[in-house]
Each structure stands twice: as structure tokens, then as C-alpha cells.
């Protein structure tokens, strides 16, 4: 087995035992990355930085100073600022931007000894469910069942594809409406969206500030626990960062959930749900029941309003956040004609720099925030969001320890097959995921099986706020029971 296919846990143990060096591990990933160019997962490679960090990690390992992520090669979603490295958020409007600062998440990872392999493809400004809105072109799912190229999901599609194809051992992702969990399910890997405020947003390009949350995308639940421990923690530079201690998430993986109550929300069993998704969900219930948990039917009555609520609030926040991209301070600036003033410069720059999906959401967000429609749309959506959050609070107050649900309404679909004439078709991919972001809750996606075409399907577990340790233990039980070990056959 090539070293680039190892888990974080396996690589950590081999590094500490002196069986491999961080440089060797990094070289294995750099070789795999070059061979995997056809997946378009990595959009900016940093081999020199990677080898410099790997040599530093080897020195730390030799000195006995080896945190869990020491020497582990990772990819970074293009939404995270890495000092001196292109950071475009998948958008032409930030072409050429190299930040002079480092995001808190990547700072923590580098301090823990992790190795930066480069930046990963993503939907433009994290707005998308298929990675097709990226200025770099779409990343491609390494799973393939015919001649079609499949989506790796979005917005963290490059992260999911790179981890599934063993181009890196793990990757950072962000989740605003499912952008860690949905691509994790499509690519057969694990991804956790932590509680809002558990991981700092400082240095992460903003989409919707009250919904965005960073998290790890990995090959196993144990790896997710290890990497989340390195990423999490209070940050004074982020006003929404929680001043809470970071538990030892890995130590919480006991595999014991006897007596725990697992809620099954009846509202998630949608009309027209594919039989394979329903059967997978039933199988997941059997697995949790077999581990000693109690399966309890619950109601989350405001679920049906989650998608429209999300697609009012998220574009509204995006229209405000993206107003800063105007061609004045950094990034793209349009060429102006004689007589053009600052208004024309703004208009031309934004028209050229933003792609169609980002333009659509900015316009929708500006509309719902306008004086004549604020109360009818945005203010009403805020009130419904509070009701969605209350539904979860009542379920947990009634003794539910975790909630089990599908992650996606289908397996990965073909690139170009959804959302062409009707963008709402694409938005429906978020039907099971957006509720967590609206409520600020942690959720983890775990691969559980394959569909009839041989493509991965996943389930998600939703936890109480700030209880990622317990949530990961539930996910660990599901992972062990499912025994998912399938890998995509290499074709790229």
C-alpha cells in the first residue's frame, strides 16, 4: 500500500515509529497529485513549501515533539488564506490575490506540524453543490461507473475528490449549507461540520457569515477526530468563536453507545425518496440498534421550510459580504473606456469577475434586503430559522442523543446534468443538510454503502451543540458497523 493511501492515524503511528519520514510521505502525495491532474482537484500546488514543512516535521519527530498532525500532508480548500499562496475562492475576481496573512485554521495546522500540499478546487465563493461554478473548471469525482464524469459535490468538491483519490491524507473544507457533508457522501469519505463557533472563521473568505463553518474531510472518523482537534479552539480574532476547551476527540471513540437514543425525523422521509436512500437509512437504524442504541421517531416540523429559509438568508449575507470585491484594493479590475467613472469600474469589474451563480445569489440577496421586501423575505426567514433551531432543541431536551438521517437525496450525478435551466434543481441537493447550518449544530457524514451503480452513499449524524466528541463516537459506531472499505478504481 502506497503511503499516500494511509489514514492520518496510520501515518502518525508510522512516523512516530520511524518507519517512514515526513519527506517520504510528502513525496508520495506530490507524486500522486501530479498523476491525478485529470481530476482537477488541486488548483495551486505548493511542493517547495510542502517539502520545507516536511523537513521541519522530521526534525520535530526526531526531537520527540510530535503532535498528532506532525508530518501529515493535507490539502487546503481555496477559501482559506495561506500566506503568499494564491487564494481565489474559486473566483476570477480574486485572480492574482496572494494574502499577506494566514487563516487561523491553517496557522493551527502548521503549528501542529501538518504539511501544505496546495490549494483545492471549489465552487466559486462556496456557492454550489457540484463544483461546476469554479473559475478553474469542475473538479471530477474519482468514482466512475461509465464514461460520464461525475460531480464530487460542492462546494468542497476538490477537497473530497483529493481525499478519496489518495492525493492527500486529509483536507480542509467549509460547510455553509452542506458543503463538507454532501461531497463527502458523493466521494465515499468522512466529513464533519462542527458546531458554529467551534472552529475559527478568521482568514476564511466569507460567503454567509452566520452559517459558514470550517471542518476536516478525511478517510475515517478517527482521522476526523484527530484533525478537528488540531483545527478547533477559541480565536480572539473571530467574534463568533467560542471560548471553550477543545476535548480529546479521538479519546472519545469508545465504540460504546448502549442506551443512547437516536432520533429519526419523520419529516426527512420525503415524498419520492429513492428506494436506495430509504433502504440505506433503514440499514443505518439497524446498525445503531445492533450497537445497543434505542431508535426513536421524532418530529422536526419546520424542516419543510429549511431550503427556502436558507436560500433567503445565505444570499442576503453573501450580497453584503461580496460588496467588498469592487476592483479597488485587490483582485481583478476591469479595463475601462474613455470617460468611464468609478460606477462603471464597479459594474464592469463585478460583471467580469463574478460567475453566473454568484451573480444570481448577490441579486437575490440584494432583493430580499431591499426596503420593500425586507420584512416579507429576510425578516420572515430569520423567524423561521429560530423555529427550525427550536425544533432541534426540543428533540434534544426530550433525551435524544443524536439524530440519524440521509446525507444526500442521491449518489453523485453527472457533471452538467443538473441545474442548467432551473437552478432550483441543484439547490435541492441540500435538502437534508441546510437545517444544521441554520441551527448551528454539528453534523458528520459517514460512507455506509454503494448504490446499484457502485457509487458511494452516506448517512449523517446530527449532534447536540458543542458535543462533537459524543457525535464522533456515534459516527465511529456507524462506520465500524457499515465496514465501508470500497475505493474508486483508478482511471485518472
Whether 5 is catalytic is no
Q: What are phi and psi of 39, to 5 degrees?
A: -85, -15
Whether 490 is catalytic is no
Give whole-number Cα distances, 447 to 75, 272, 277, in Å: 21, 22, 12
Number of helices (H), then strands (E), belonging to the chain: the values are 15, 11
Q: 439 near 390, Cβ under 8 Å?
A: no
Catalytic residue among 45, 77, 119, 219: 77
Strands 294-298 and 261-265: parallel
Catalytic residue among 130, 133, 134, 155: 155
Whether 237 is catalytic is no
First vs last C-alpha separation in the chain: 18
Question: Could you tell me how far CA 185 lies from the centroid of its own chain?
Answer: 11
Question: Could you tell me how far CA 304 lies from the centroid of its own chain?
Answer: 23
Burial (CB count within 10 angstroms: exposed 0-12, middle 13-18, buried 19+), residue 240: middle
Alpha-carbon dihedral of residues 324, 325, 330, 334, nearest 10 degrees?
-140
Spatial CA neighbour of 69 closest among 164, 173, 169, 142: 169
Strand ranges, E, within 38-109: 42-45, 73-77
Report the C-alpha gap between 19 and 45 in whole angstroms. Answer: 26
Catalytic residue among 159, 179, 319, 410: 179
Active site residues: 77, 155, 179
Amino acid at each position: 500500500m502506497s503511503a499516500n493511501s494511509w489514514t492520518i492515524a496510520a501515518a502518525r503511528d508510522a512516523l512516530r515509529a520511524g518507519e517512514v519520514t515526513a519527506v517520504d510521505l510528502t513525496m508520495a502525495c506530490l507524486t500522486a497529485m501530479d498523476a491525478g491532474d485529470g481530476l482537477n482537484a488541486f488548483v495551486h500546488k505548493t511542493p517547495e513549501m510542502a517539502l520545507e514543512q516536511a523537513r521541519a516535521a522530521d526534525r520535530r519527530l526526531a526531537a520527540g515533539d510530535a503532535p498528532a498532525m506532525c508530518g501529515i500532508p493535507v490539502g487546503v480548500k481555496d477559501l482559506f488564506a495561506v500566506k503568499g499562496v494564491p487564494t481565489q475562492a474559486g473566483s476570477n475576481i480574486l485572480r492574482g490575490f496572494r494574502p499577506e496573512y494566514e487563516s487561523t485554521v491553517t496557522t493551527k495546522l502548521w503549528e501542529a506540524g501538518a504539511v501544505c500540499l496546495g490549494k483545492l478546487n471549489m465552487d466559486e465563493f462556496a456557492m454550489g453543490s457540484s463544483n461546476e461554478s469554479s473559475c478553474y473548471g469542475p473538479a471530477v469525482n474519482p468514482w466512475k461507473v461509465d464514461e460520464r464524469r461525475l460531480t464530487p459535490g460542492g462546494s468542497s468538491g476538490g477537497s473530497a475528490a483529493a481525499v478519496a483519490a489518495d492525493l492527500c491524507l486529509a483536507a480542509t473544507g467549509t460547510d455553509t449549507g452542506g458543503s463538507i457533508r454532501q461531497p463527502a457522501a458523493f466521494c465515499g469519505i468522512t466529513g464533519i461540520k462542527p458546531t458554529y463557533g467551534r472552529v475559527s472563521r478568521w482568514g476564511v473568505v466569507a460567503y454567509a457569515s452566520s452559517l459558514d463553518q470550517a471542518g476536516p474531510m478525511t478517510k475515517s472518523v478517527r482521522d476526523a477526530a484527530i484533525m478537528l482537534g488540531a483545527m478547533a479552539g477559541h480565536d480572539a480574532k473571530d467574534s463568533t468563536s467560542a471560548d471553550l476547551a477543545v476535548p480529546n476527540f479521538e479519546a472519545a471513540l469508545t465504540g460504546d453507545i448502549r442506551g443512547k437514543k437516536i432520533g429519526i425525523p419523520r419529516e426527512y422521509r420525503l415524498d419520492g425518496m429513492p428506494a436506495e436512500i430509504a433502504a440505506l437509512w433503514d440499514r443505518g437504524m439497524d446498525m445503531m440498534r445492533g450497537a445497543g442504541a434505542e431508535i426513536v421517531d421524532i418530529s422536526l416540523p419546520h424542516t419543510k421550510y429549511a431550503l427556502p429559509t436558507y436560500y433567503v438568508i445565505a444570499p442576503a449575507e453573501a450580497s453584503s459580504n461580496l460588496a467588498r470585491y469592487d476592483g479597488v484594493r485587490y483582485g481583478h479590475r476591469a479595463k475601462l473606456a474613455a470617460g468611464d467613472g468609478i460606477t462603471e469600474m464597479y459594474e464592469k469589474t463585478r460583471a467580469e469577475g463574478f460567475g453566473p451563480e454568484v451573480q444570481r445569489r448577490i441579486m437575490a440577496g440584494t432583493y430580499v434586503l431591499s426596503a420593500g421586501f425586507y420584512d416579507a423575505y429576510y425578516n420572515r426567514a430569520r423567524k423561521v430559522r429560530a423555529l427550525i433551531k427550536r425544533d432541534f432543541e426540543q428533540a434534544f431536551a426530550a433525551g435524544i442523543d443524536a439524530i440519524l438521517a440521509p446525507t444526500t437525496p442521491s449518489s453523485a450525478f453527472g457533471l452538467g446534468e443538473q441545474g442548467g435551466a432551473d437552478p432550483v434543481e441543484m439547490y435541492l441537493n441540500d435538502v437534508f443538510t441546510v437545517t444544521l447550518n441554520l441551527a448551528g449544530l454539528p453534523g458528520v457524514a459517514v460512507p455506509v454503502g454503494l448504490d446499484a451503480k457502485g457509487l458511494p452513499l452516506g448517512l449523517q449524524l446530527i449532534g447536540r451543540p458543542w458535543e462533537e466528541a459524543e457525535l464522533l463516537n456515534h459516527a465511529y459506531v456507524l462506520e465500524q458497523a457499515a465496514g465501508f472499505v470500497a475505493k474508486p478504481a483508478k482511471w485518472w
